Structure 1
Amino acid sequence: MWLRFLHSTYCNPAIFAGIIFYLMGYFIHRFPPKSPKSWYGYRSVLSTKTPEMWRSANEYAAYISRRVGVILVVSGVACALLFQRQSDWFWYITVGAVVAGTMYLVGDTEWELTRHFDKDGKRILPE
């Protein structure tokens, strides 16, 4: 039974990573990490500059992580329905979706931080 599932198209990285991304985003949203010394949270050079940047980065990363998780699960199920077996293209698409989702999560969160904070970590007020 397990071997049959492992070789089915429903066993793919996009579905598993999508579930993990969604749960991670939900967990960080529901229980935000208090400081950069926490064992979990969105951690980067920019996000650990100030406590305000840390809070903002984790809030935004949790939101994006939930969105990416849903998109990955939907794309994983779509690939499972479109492909009849785990071919090379099946793996390229499902793993590529996970890589693209991860790059989007990091890139968009960092971009959001640079838009709202200056190089010293002070919030930029809208004009």
Structure 2
Amino acid sequence: MNVPIESWFIGPQLIGAVFIVMGLIQRYYPPKHINGLYGYRMPSATKNQQTWDEANRYSGTYMYRIGWVMLVMGIIITVSLYQIPMQANLRDGINVMLLIAGSIVPCVMLIISTEKHLQNTFHD
């Protein structure tokens, strides 16, 4: 198995690494006040300071956890893609599609999960 070095960095695992870093930043440096630049900024989170704090606490933890799942899955996918004989341009195309899906799906999951958590926590 001869996996090029760039494939270890540019692939689905890249999004996992970004989620881990963002989750850690949000966990250790949470936004103190409701703002338009930094934090989980959906309308349900910006209702008041209590919902803001809980949404940012929950979403930071969620990003950190899903980031590790994505990182491990990305490494497994990268190794698997190089085990299957195929043309390099097809492998690159699959990698790009997985990178795009790996960007969109976790973000949607983050929003859905955080919104459900806020609804269950605040019941209004």
**Bucket of the pairwise TM-score, normalised by the shorter protein:** 0.7 to 0.9
Q: Return structure 1 stretches of 4+ with deviation > 4 angstroms.
A: none
How far off its partner does 1:40 sit? 1.4
> Structure 2 CA distance, aligned partners of 1:74 and 1:9?
14
TM-score normalised to structure 1 length: 0.79
> Structure 1 CA distance, aligned partners of 2:95 and 2:37?
34
Q: Is the 8 A contact 1:13 1:76 kept in 2?
A: yes
Q: 1:16 to 1:71 in 2, by over 3 A?
A: same
TM-score normalised to structure 2 length: 0.80
Residue correspondence of structure 1 range 1-127 to structure 2 within 5 A: 5=5, 8-37=6-35, 39-84=37-82, 85=88, 86-119=91-124
Unaligned runs of at least 5 residues, structure 1: 120-127
More helix by proportion, 1 or 2? 2
Query: What SS class does the counterpart of residue 29 from structure 1 fall into?
Result: helix
> Structure 2 CA distance, aligned partners of 1:57 and 1:17?
21
Unaligned runs of at least 5 residues, structure 2: 83-87
Percentage of pairs with the same residue: 23
Range with bigger deviation, 36-45 or 21-30: 36-45
- 1:7-35 deviation digits (Å, cap 9, x = unpaired): x4324342221111111111111111111
Q: Is the 8 A contact 1:47 1:57 kept in 2?
A: yes
- 1:17-62 deviation digits (Å, cap 9, x = unpaired): 1111111111111111111126311111100001000000000000
Q: 1:48 to 1:13 in 2, by over 3 A?
A: farther
